[in-house]
Every structure is written in C-alpha cells, then in structure tokens.
Chain A
Amino acid sequence: DAGVIQSPRHEVTEMGQEVTLRCKPISGHDYLFWYRQTMMRGLELLIYFNNNVPIDDSGMPEDRFSAKMPNASFSTLKIQPSEPRDSAVYFCASSQGPDRNSNQPQHFGDGTRLSIL
C-alpha cells in the first residue's frame, strides 16, 4: 500500500516567495494533519482536517500560512510570503477515524525540508 506522499522533498527559496507544500494521504483515511518540526520547538501540529473540513487550525502560526483540502486525496499548505523563520521540516500525516473512542495512529509522509534564504 502506498503511504502518505509529500512533495517536494526539498524546497529552497528566497524570502518573500510563495511556497506550496503538497500531500496525498493514505486512501481511506478520514483525517489529515500538517506538522512542522524544528530543533527548538519539536513537532508542532499546525492544522488538521476531517473529511476534507478543517477542524482545528489553532497551531497555524500566522495569516501567512494557509491550508486547503479540496478533496479526499489532496491537501496543500501554503506560506505567503515566506520568511527565514519558516525554515523547518513539514510533515503531513493521515489516519483513520476513531475506533470506539480510541484514536487511530497517524502515518507520516517523508516530509518536506524547507529552507527560506
């Protein structure tokens, strides 16, 4: 089975440019999560979707960040304009819905390593 697929794997761009990260979740998974990982702050949840609807975006750092999920097999995370402090590894993860009030584990993509110069 194909896992979570993210693209690009690496992105280097200049400050002020728009950055778009892409994610294809595992087929049949109802939940999709976007995380950011840095040495200083660890793995932070940015936003998550259930059945393509954003449920909690309280982790999105500021208005420069936006995420969409137009259909069950595709999501994007956009940063516009990008800043050097956005440099991090961005992970997308997906999971099935809860089973008898117990959450299912999340499966992570390989991540996008983003560097803003």
Chain B
Amino acid sequence: QKEVEQNSGPLSVPEGAIASLNCTYSDRVSQSFFWYRQYSGKSPELIMSIYSNGDKEDGRFTAQLNKASQYVSLLIRDSQPSDSATYLCAVSIRGGFKTIFGAGTRLFVKA
C-alpha cells in the first residue's frame, strides 16, 4: 500500500460545479496535511494546510480531515477553468518532518 494515495483522474467537472478531490494515507501517526496545486510546467503551490479533524475553509476551498478514517479531501466550490491543474495531497508521516506526496489528481474544469 502506498503511503499517500490519490485517484489520478482526470476528474472533469463543468464550470461552476463542486470538485471533490480525495486522499488516503497509511500512517496513523500523521499530524500535518497539505494540499498543493501544480499547473503544468510549474512548481507546487500551497492551497491549504489542515491539522485537526473537521473542515477548514478558505474562500472557495474547503479541506476536510478525518484521522480515524485516515482520509483528507479538498472541495473546490464554483470551479473555474483556472482551477484546472494537478492537485497534490501531502502528508507528514510518522509524526516527523518527512513529507510524502501523493501522485496527484488531474482536474479539468470545462467552460
């Protein structure tokens, strides 16, 4: 089992819809969780950090964490074509500073 798993997609949603991106992780000790967005040919860019169970909202983005189920998700409301990118889930494993990235989910938002 991979340490951080994401559906590779592509996930295609119409403009204005909600995009839901999911991530599971294997290490129960993990405490820090991040979502990054990466446009083609560019570097990963932080969207959200989440550390506690529940939801965290920032503008059109909501991160959800469920440590019991070892699951973290990212919701993008009112999706825009500019949201089309690869979204990387990152987890700091074993309670330390080593961060493992998932393979990423490609999102396409159709105008």
Task: List residues of A whose CB falls within 8 A of some B CB.
Answer: 31, 33, 35, 42-43, 45, 48, 50, 55-56, 91, 98, 101-111
Contacts and interface: CB of A to CB of B under 8 A. Distances in A.
23 contacts: A33-B99, A42-B102, A42-B103, A42-B104, A43-B44, A43-B88, A45-B98, A45-B99, A48-B98, A55-B97, A91-B43, A98-B97, A101-B95, A103-B31, A103-B32, A103-B99, A104-B49, A107-B46, A108-B43, A108-B44, A108-B45, A109-B43, A111-B43
Chain A interface mostly helix, strand, loop or mixed? strand
A56 B98 contact: yes
Interface in B31-84: 31-32, 34, 42-46, 49, 51
Given A50-B97, A56-B98, A103-B92, A91 B31 contact: no
Contacts of B42: 110
A110 B88 CA distance: 16
Given A102-B31, A105-B34, A31 B97 contact: yes
